[in-house]
Chain A
Amino acid sequence: MTMQVLAVDDSRTMRDMVRLALTAEGIGAHLAEDGLHGLELLDEIPAPDAIITDINMPRMDGFGFIDGVRAREEFRAIPILVLTTESAAEMKARARDAGATGWIVKPFEPARLVKALRMVAG
């Protein structure tokens, strides 16, 4: 069973890049355009092995999204990587408080992202 990842980012470019990085490694990618869309998608697809999310997004930002995921019993153990241009310690702390597993600063190297995914999701 190949790894399945849900990636949430409001930038189409970022979604495309994440998808490219994942599919090149044989990882399945589901893409959502913001936190709300991500939560909706979680109900539609089989539970992913890992989640990647941006922070700054319309409608529902990454913090809200992580809260939303962690509030659901069945999603509590899914590792969540934050992928953002933000690097402020205070933001990282907030994401971790919400339940984020890891933090990767954009721009990202595909290999680095995949390595991080393997590290949190096997």
Chain B
Amino acid sequence: MSDPMAEIRASFFVECEELLEALQDGLQTLYDEMGDGETVNVVFRAVHSIKGGAGAFGLDTLVAFAHRFETALDLVRSGHLSASPDVLKLFFTCSDILTDLVREARDDIPHDPTRTDPILAELDTLLGATPADDVAEDDPIDFEVTTLSLDLDLDAPGETEDPTWDITFTPGPLLYANGNEPQFLFRALRDLGDLTVTCHDNDLPPLEALDCEHAHLGWTLRLTTPEGRGAIADAFDFVEGLCSLDIMRADDAPPPPADLPDLAELDDLAALSGETPDPEKPIPEPVRPTSETAPSPEPSPRPAPAAATPRATVRVDLDRIDRLVNLVGEIVINQAMLSQSVDAAGVPPNSPVRTGLEEFQQLTRDIQESVMMIRAQPVKSLFQRMSRIVREASAAIGKDVRLRTEGENTEVDKTVIERLADPLTHMIRNAVDHGLEPGDAREAAGKPREGTVQLTALHRSGRVVIEVADDGAGINRPKVLAKAIEKELIPADSQLTDSEIDNLLFLPGFSTADRISNLSGRGVGMDVVRNAIQALGGRVTIQSEPGQGTTFSISLPLTLAVLDGMVVRVARETLVVPLNAIFETLAVTPDDLRAFGPNTHVINIRDTFVPLIDLGAELGYRHPLQDYTGSVVLLIGQEDGLAAAVVVDAIEDQRQVVIKGLQEAYGRVPGIAAATILGDGQIALILDPIDLVAQASGHTQPAKPVSPQKIGVSS
């Protein structure tokens, strides 16, 4: 059996992610001035809950930081501190640090105080600037205490015989009203040692006068215990203030009179603090009006049951879901095989077998979709990470930037979300660094000083579209063109359309910034971004309007588990080419074909020359063909244009295939994305066409991916 504490710990970190998300959300709402008192509460509670859980696991660094953060939030909550943009910016930073600390704690990464200390100092300044009593009220030391044990052992050590204590205990009515039961207290005392209990019922009225709401009984107890006064007081911890209590060493004082007078008025603080009350001064037991002593008679603030009940969710280990996804994939394959067998057996079209199989097919598809939905997650967590990127990036280069997000609840496969983080981070940095003009330039252009980066997610025709839009100056096309020519990425006399110029940004090694900032100029270009997105089966496009801004759109498949592919044959091998990479298929005519030398050909597609890649030769299945006339080619490309014409022997089919990863067994295979199992049980490799083009050897064209324009112009 697994360790339940380890499980709770793991679940705590999952909960932390949710709480951090709520925290981010709340801060953003406050920053957008859309928040109310409850927003502040939500933010406070998120930090509070993280602190509480962290304390349970002894995560001291996390507790200490969360506590300071919480204290500051509490000031806002209590109205002692206003949530100004500056304060909120500090809170955002705190939330980022809290996120880091949670991850450090989770992954057992040693903490680096150089990052937190300055922020703690800023928090302290903030706290110091407010009434001191609010701060002092909640001393951090409280949270270093791990138990509430009040074992202040006042006894001298080395005592040989257990001392005897006399305890006089007279409950007040509130003791009962608050749910205490003296009997249980005595039981707790009995656990400490030898106990004798004497009950005093002299004040008990006759039955007809008995008010069961009142306290009528008192007790004297004699306890012989090795434990100290602290342990005894501990037993009365909860009733302190609700009774009169006196704990005395038996040998210090004469035994209490058998007939005990009422000791002290309940409200008498002296009695509560355990001081010896004056037994000479009998005080009648206080009788308060019931309305005062009973718990609040006001009706409880219980809203209508229509209020949202806690959401019903089940947390499931991702491995289990993946196993389910795999099994469903197997069903899809099995069903395809079954259909093929039924075809082969010549079963007539209207037979029950066929009808049944069709229903099976429909059900399989439904199950597959449902399972994929389990893996889907809102992009919210990803967007929240981006809001941090924007804050850090804008702070690093001194621009005022506001991130707006839309469609955060759009759901995408979990793996897609995870693998989108890096490219999206880069795009966001680019937007802040290159997309937006500096504040002065914006003002000169009549725009608000604060730039906006808009992050949007939406579903469009079975795919997920994620847009990164800035309201900057737009792509400086003359500059981009000049740069591309200077870097010899395109010939000097190139005539390109606006869109073609924009797409030059995706060429490897392209960078428009004259000055390499430490932000986006990290040696990673937009080509890497595009490759990462293509690896997810996605596409990137650019739209730019001078003076208005630039929008990058990423279009992604909803899942990585299935893929729409074209099944092709090459040298008796069956391969699958992702449909999203295929622009067009055609048969090569002699007029289209140009030889560039031995085994190197290009074909003319509407006056653009595209390198020809012989797939059979490229993958080592056979030698290059002597003549490509009449060959079937797939035009492979990206948003910015065609990359290559891939020669295959025949096109078989177009269908959805279940993706089976190869990397676990074989590592990364150049040009190959994954494998699948076809309906006849045959295994087929799924091509990674863009990688294939990039890897293409001398059999066809230079390995460097070539922009179609370059070929077109130079021929």
Contacts and interface: CB of A to CB of B under 8 A. Distances in A.
A102 interface: yes
B53 A112 contact: no
A71 B295 contact: yes
Interface string B303-340: 10101011000000000000000000000000000000
B184 A118 contact: yes
B147 A67 contact: no
A101 B15 contact: no
A10 B295 contact: no
Interface centre among B55, B174, B188, B296 (most CB of A within 10 A): B296
B458 to A, nearest CB: 30
Contact of B179 (A16, A39, A59, A79): A79
Contact of B148 (A36, A77, A104): A104
A17 B8 contact: yes
Given A56-B45, A67-B295, A120 B11 contact: no
A80 B179 contact: yes
Interface stretch (B235-243, B611-619, B630-638): B235-243
B299 A71 contact: yes
A88 B137 contact: yes
B198 interface: no
Contact of A105 (B142, B179, B238, B295): B142
A36 B45 contact: no
A25 interface: no
B652 to A, nearest CB: 51
A11 B52 contact: yes
A67 B301 contact: yes
A60 interface: yes
B147 A121 contact: no
Nearest to B4: A20
Contacts of A76: 177, 179, 295
A122 B178 contact: no
B307 A71 contact: no
A39 B307 CA distance: 13
Nearest to B145: A105
Contact of A34 (B187, B297, B310): B310
Given A67-B301, A119-B188, A58 B45 contact: yes
Nearest to B142: A87
B180 interface: yes
B309 A37 contact: yes
Interface centre among A64, A67, A100, A112 (most CB of B within 10 A): A67
Interface residues of B, number: 59
Nearest to B48: A56
Contact of B52 (A64, A85, A119): A85
Interface string A93-122: 000111111111111110010011011111
B102 to A, nearest CB: 12
A20 B302 contact: no
Nearest to A33: B310
Given A58-B41, A99-B177, A119 B238 contact: yes
Contact of B178 (A57, A85, A96, A112): A96
Interface in B281-307: 294-303, 305, 307
B11 A13 contact: yes
Contact of B184 (A70, A78, A90, A121): A121
A112 B187 contact: no
Interface centre among B45, B56, B147 (most CB of A within 10 A): B56
Given A16-B8, A70-B295, A36 B145 contact: no
Given A56-B44, A68-B302, A120 B184 contact: yes
A120 B307 contact: no
Nearest to A78: B179
Interface string B130-154: 0000000110001101111100000
A58 B305 contact: no
Counting chain A residues whose Cβ lies within 8 A of the other chain, the interface size class is 35 or more
B63 to A, nearest CB: 9
A39 B238 contact: no
A99 B178 contact: yes
Interface string A1-25: 0000000001111101100100000
A107 B298 CA distance: 32
B291 to A, nearest CB: 13
B296 A88 contact: no
B49 interface: yes
Contacts of A121: 181, 184
B142 A99 contact: no
Contacts of B242: 96
A102 B237 contact: yes
Contact of A13 (B15, B143, B178): B15
Contacts of A99: 177-179, 295-296
Interface in B101-160: 137-138, 142-143, 145-149
A98 B56 contact: no
Given A96-B178, A104-B148, A119-B184, A71 B49 contact: no
B421 interface: no
A104 B56 CA distance: 13
Interface string B1-16: 0001101100110010
Interface in B168-183: 174, 176-181, 183
A122 B241 contact: no
Contact of B188 (A39, A105, A115): A115
B238 A101 contact: yes
Contacts of B58: 107
B42 interface: yes
Contacts of A67: 295-296, 298, 300-301
Given A67-B295, A85-B52, A109 B179 contact: no
Given A20-B5, A40-B305, A70-B295, A122 B44 contact: no
Nearest to B236: A119
A106 B295 CA distance: 25
B8 A71 contact: no
A11 B53 contact: yes
B302 A13 contact: no
Contacts of B309: 37, 40
Interface centre among B51, B181, B242 (most CB of A within 10 A): B181
9 contacts: A13-B8, A16-B12, A56-B48, A59-B303, A76-B295, A96-B174, A118-B187, A118-B188, A119-B188
Interface of B: 4-5, 7-8, 11-12, 15, 41-42, 44-45, 48-49, 51-53, 55-56, 58, 137-138, 142-143, 145-149, 174, 176-181, 183-185, 187-188, 235, 237-238, 241-242, 294-303, 305, 307, 309-310
Interface of A: 10-14, 16-17, 20, 33-34, 36-37, 39-40, 56-60, 64, 66-68, 70-71, 76-80, 85-88, 90, 96-109, 112, 115-116, 118-122
Given A39-B300, A71-B296, 16 more contacts: A12-B15, A13-B52, A20-B5, A33-B310, A36-B307, A39-B302, A60-B301, A70-B295, A70-B296, A80-B178, A85-B51, A90-B137, A107-B52, A118-B187, A120-B184, A121-B181
